[in-house]
Structure 1
Amino acid sequence: MLISFGISYAEESQTIQVEIKYTNGDRVDFNGMKLVVYQDFDKAIFLEKQLESSIEVLTVPANHRYKIEVYANGMYADVAYVQINNTPKEITMNIPLSGGLKFEVFYNDGQSAVEGVRVVIKSKDGTEWRQGNTNALGETIRYWVQSTTNQDDYYIADVFLGDLFLKSHYPIKLIPGLSKNEKIIIDIPKIIEDQIIINLYKDGTTKISNIDETHTITLTNKLDEQSVTANVNFRGEAYFSNLKPGVYLTKIMPNEAGNWPELELEIIGNHNKFNIFKTQSVKLEESSNILLQEIESCNCVAFRFDDVQDYWLNDVQIQTMDVFQKQDLPLTLGIIADSFGNDLKLLEFVKQGIGNNFKIANHGVGNIAFTEFSFEEQDSRIKDSSQRIKNTLNVDSKIFIPPQNRFNEDTKQSLLDNGFTYISSSLLHGDPPPFPLTGEKLYQFPEISTTGTFDPVQNVFLGESHELTLVKTLEGLEKYGFAVITMHPQEFSTIVNGTYQNQLNTNQIFELKTLVEKLQNEKIKIVYLDQINLDSQTERIPIWLKNNAEWWANDQIDDDTFVQGIEYLIQQNIIKIPEQFIEKSSQQIIPVWIKNNAEWWANDQIDDDTFVQGIEYLIKNGIITY
């Protein structure tokens, strides 16, 4: 294949003719290929072009050295160096052969084939290259895509049931010229044996009853169009069992007025209760004035670090948490209560971070799903874990992360009984959306994306690229109004012969730092998990304090008068100070920049949070005492 590019420059130009071949001498298909060109020793890209023709002309300024990289299907393939003086140059680039890739998809038993799911092959930057559906044996056709010769390159396979996302499977490596079968196990059963309950409500709070006419509900699987019908009993409930997992269309009869909506229910075994509400009649002339309500959004992301525990990968845990410490960013820590408190190195690090960058979440005791226990057993475990965290960290956590992300109605009731206000599970194992951001007694903010995922074939956690995590995070923000990003220590450790080592995976830490940077560039706030709800900070700074700040900045009132206003903020808990900072000090000199902050804040040049951070600095450093 001959490639060239055309660009005009003021200085003298010359041409480079590039021929790209496979290592066996065959010419390549240019589709999905691009060249990236660097000039001299500059690390910035000089030219990047997606190839659209087999023959083009590359015209570049003469008297320069060029580095030319070729990428195929998003994978690095080859590099060439050429010095351009006063004569044209011709170069040949040899890229590795493609690799063959066939997928075999199974249910969670690892043996039953899944028919009709869609498998999408992507490079780690999120670009889609191939997709297709599985047959009755759970197999896709064999795809031939560029092999992965660079150690950092890999493919990702996203699995969908209709439009329902099920799993990301990665990293997938391909050897040049060879073919492989990739087994994917999805975390849903072949048959949902649990009873599915659908409740019919004739208004916002009242179910239909025996005084209403008899109703039936029909569920139709969107994939195979098989239907099943059940009667609604006198309690307004219809029961279904032994369903295949999938997306089902609902049809409720009778429905002459059209008030019962036809919905799509995702029935995949993660929850078994659904509510359908009767809608009110709307006149045709009024319907055009009805607008879709926008989803409430905090425009924020909470990082959740699960499985914090003694001794195990403790250096990795500390160094991962330290990323947030050094950047002064909020991080919610999931403490396994019965496995924490004896590792003094880890304990002291966490203690020092509480009130600065760390918020504590209760991650239960042991690693057994709460759905395995009765209400009484769950309640006992919640009380036990809460007391253990109180004893070791002197924290009354109101955030609960259920072990294995699994919980049920008993879990929620026990959490409410014990004063919890937040639960963070996952989309797969938690309740279905919506997830309100205001007015809830128990807020549910599930995991939306992760920095790693468990590979059942290798039996290890593997880190994700920041691109993939960012894409899922942004999708969550758009769909739910927030995102929770879950991290585990394992994905930040090095792995030797399938065993985690207590040594930091610097590549994955780089991915984490890059993810944080990308979020900040998108102007997305990073918050604690209990700051996602929009009513999490109902106390506002009073207007009179802004007046005080302006007068103080202009020397119209003295320091003592201004400090009295600050004491009000502390008493009203608008400024929260950790216990270790509550101490007296003879230091009374207030830095000049604090006065500047006060003036800027009074003139709305900085926000409340920035102003409060300055005041917290004074208190933490003993300049202001109370």
Structure 2
Amino acid sequence: MSFAEVYVPLHEYLGYFDSTGIYTVVGNVKNENDFAIIPTITVSVIENSETISKTIQHVPLAAGTEIPFKIKFPEVQSNTPVLVNPELIYEQTMTNPVPIQILYDKTLVKHEDGHISGRIQNTGNETIHFPKIFAVVHGYEKVLDITQNIEYIEKIEPGEILDFTMYPDPSVTEDIFYYSCFAPVDTTVIPVTAKKNGGDFDFRYDSGAWYSAAKFDESGTTMTIRGYNSYPLETYANFEFAPISGNEKFSVTLNDEPIEFIQSIDDMGFWHVAFTVEPQSQGVLKISGFDKGLPPELPTVPVWVKQNADWWATQQIPDSEFLEGIDFLFEKQILSVPTREVVSESQWKIPQWVQIPAGWWYEEKITDEQFLNIIENLVQREIIVV
């Protein structure tokens, strides 16, 4: 089902074979509602009477904004696939436009080889982590591709200006006329599912490169996945895995040669395996060190937030440290209040009597859902400001 207020313009929706021969579908979701949404796009391709479908849930999309998307179909083997019109659904959410602005000045340059470089600026009051910039690539009369910045940007501070570079697929470089629909987002990831020890293992990655055909070995401890970077500059890859034991120690090879990588764990308890991807490279990536079996269901609320509640309830940390955890839950949309107005940390406030339910929560006298409902109610009534 699709809605007139949220749609994919068909003149910006097309399929093509990229420079490595993989069938690629690109499009652009527009949100003309006066509220934010999370769009889910299903793209289908018919090949030899068989329908191949892929679904992505995109990042939250603020009111009056748009976001391009790109999906790869390495399964397509014929030269005559038929692209079906996209299916689009959405759910309402709470988010503000990402306060990143493209600087339309002399630094925004389309180069002779078709790539573009420019600068972005954080025009807001908060640090933006892992920003990305998407754009639609046009030929003289039609859309050619969707592209993104290839640099890994860890963060951009308020007022800060950073450079970015975008390269289209090499198969379309000679036909590029201009770029449009520059869309900043605070992050986006690509979901992947692979069979592991008799079940589905879901994981995600964020990268300027593309990866496909993920497969685990019989023991479920080593995963292979094919990747390629068509850009003439190095980019990055960051894989996110749910822990099984929490004691995993990974190793990474590309075409059976060890590569340098960083293993870390994020605030939600997920493992990250990140590394640099060399220019115009391709091959089989192998990540070893997974525990056997499938991940247990992770708690909705990270353990550190609940631990902070106990420390705050027993007056071991100040209000600000406890409210950092509450603010984190809003950022991750674990908490949601329709009328919440984001304020600076210096304006945060919380009454001390909230320490009582915070202590009950840590002692499991009330459930996660009950405590989160209490916090949402108090934030909506502006008794808590965060």
- Would you tell me which structure has more strand in proportion to its own residues? 2
Q: TM above 0.5, one fold?
A: no
- Would you tell me which structure has more helix in proportion to its own residues? 1
TM-score, normalised on structure 2? 0.28
If asked which structure has higher relative contact order (CA below 8 Å, sep 6+), I would say: 2
Question: Is the radius of gyration larger for structure 1 or structure 2?
Answer: 1
